[in-house]
Structure 1
């Protein structure tokens, strides 16, 4: 019995993701590498098509580009990670989990690196989930919930900015919207996302009333009787965590405000790149709308960090907005991706050089 207890204690003391000596099977490892390499290959292909189909002169544009706007854009892209780290800390505090800003920033930037090499935005979130469990003080489910809410609020910020920019386009450039199927479809998706988020918030706000509604109560009771006790306990913790957010709407609004600022900054960064590349025709609103629409397309988990997909969509929108001269149409989005990868390289450096990460401890 003592040996069994010691074994349980040893297992519990291991960092997340190191339980036992069993690792991923060779088949899973091979499949993981196929997905990674396939996503990277697709991103490279899309980047090549973006450059070739727009007659982009990437090297020439970079040689003639003004360096200061590019440096400002690089700094702005980095600022979004600093703001994102602060937003996550604020959401964790609502759940009674406290970590330092340095740790949050480190996990955020390393998570950005993983998003840049593994298709799908959730890859960085999984890293954060694994490590934050060590600091959750028995509130692991609530800590994981904070990451999910953080991701939802990030999407909400994108939709808020995208909705405002889309409304402007419909008022000022309606003919252009209806002449470009891609632009029109994406605006519809943004508006649908806005409705979906409003419904989600209404469910959070009126969850107690919904649970007293007879069909919901019957469904909840049926699930509680059928599901394993551990799963029911997890859902119960999640519901309690959601109630904490519902009880502190100011914290949610502040986090949403940070998300809006983040996505606005991304639009400013793209605008700076455009000015560095001496683009002459597009207004700031076109850059802002292009950023939100391309980031919506990047949510599809086909390429790492949406690289390639985001560039292709941005180039298509720049063509619709008559970006001038023509050789910057494909160059600006690719330069934006290169600057984004600079911060991914920072995350790779932290992952490689930090002994805490090498030991899977922070």
Structure 2
């Protein structure tokens, strides 16, 4: 009993929760975060509701991208079903602090839906996560062209411009070397020289990659969809920021939002709580060259994400109820 309560995963979750609490406490004590001023978003529903629409559309558009990736691997799941699973996954990623995130939930549901092609379907979730990252970096690159005209003359822009360039180079280099590695592996049949067990595990990856290479027009469409999904979420964040009188320029908010979202993905705390706020606040403060409770804006964005993921909770309950009914019918 004692061991079950203190499993490694539970200890790790406790550490992450503690770190999140510490980061939020530091933000509050340093004046970067003000919980009371968050309530102002509910007094400006003319801006907050359109922002929520943008955030929700970002989730739906991301679901459309995942549907495209599934179809590219021959898994023709109806678009409505994929969007439902996307809503469920987004809900679990946003609301629950446990180790089983939204991607794991999507994987479990897809595994239950399919009898064939399960491996390629599960790998499509990995591909979807990669395209989400590509969308973030692409938006950062696009906004960086407008950034010099929007920042304060005293701002430290070079480190952020350099970081954006580095991320873009790493992304492009990774794609080039990845494609080159795949070509060489296929050209010289490298997999044939590996042990049978390793070949067995690598086979689904090889099949999935070949399917994606053959469906390269779909991948280009997924790239465009990723930029659209990220862009509309950033627009929602800028709209939320416009509610606060101390907000930075839209370009600065966009860059800070991209970095905040990028660092929130790193599993340091559950959902990146405290991490995204800290990064967002620092970027805004340095680029705007002034102090303000910028973390409040990102936390308000997080509140908005909680609200727009309520439909995912409803869909999750519907799926759970439908599954129990089906199981009961089978037993009867």
TM-score range, shorter chain: 0.7 to 0.9
Alignment of 1:1-362 (within 5 A): 27=4, 30-54=7-31, 56-60=33-37, 62-63=39-40, 65-116=43-94, 117-118=96-97, 123-169=101-147, 179=156, 184=159, 187-203=161-177, 205-206=179-180, 209-211=183-185, 217-218=189-190, 220-223=191-194, 226-228=195-197, 231-279=198-246, 282-322=248-288, 328-352=293-317, 354-356=319-321, 359=324
Scaled by the length of structure 2, the TM-score of the pair is 0.83
Alpha-carbon spacing, 1:204–1:356, altered in 2? closer, same or farther (3 Å): farther
Moved more, 345-354 or 102-111: 345-354
3-state SS, counterpart of residue 273 of structure 2? coil
**Which blocks of at least 5 consecutive residues in structure 1 are unaligned?**
1-24
Q: Secondary structure at the match of 2:105?
A: helix
Cα gap change, 1:32 to 1:212, in 2 (>3 Å): closer
Greater alpha carbon shift after TM alignment, 241-250 vs 110-119: 110-119
Q: CA RMSD in A?
A: 3.3
SS in structure 2 of the partner of residue 277 of structure 1: coil
Q: Which contiguous aligned blocks of 4+ residues in structure 1 show a shift greater than 4 angstroms? A: 170-177, 186-189, 203-208
Give the deviation of 1:201 after TM superposition: 2.8
Note the C-alpha offset of 1:146: 1.1
TM-score, normalization by structure 1: 0.77
2: CA distance between counterparts of 1:305 and 1:321?
25
Mapped contact 2:98–2:270 kept (Cα < 8 A): yes
CA distance 1:301–1:241, change in 2 (3 Å): same
Cα deviation digits, residues 47-78 of structure 1 (max 9, x gap):
33223312544324524752211111112111
Aligned residue for 1:276, secondary structure, equals: coil
Contact preservation (8 Å) 1:39, 1:119 = no
In the alignment, structure 2 segments of 5+ residues that lack a partner are 328-332
Per-residue deviation, 1:26:
5.2
Which of the pair has more CA radius of gyration?
1
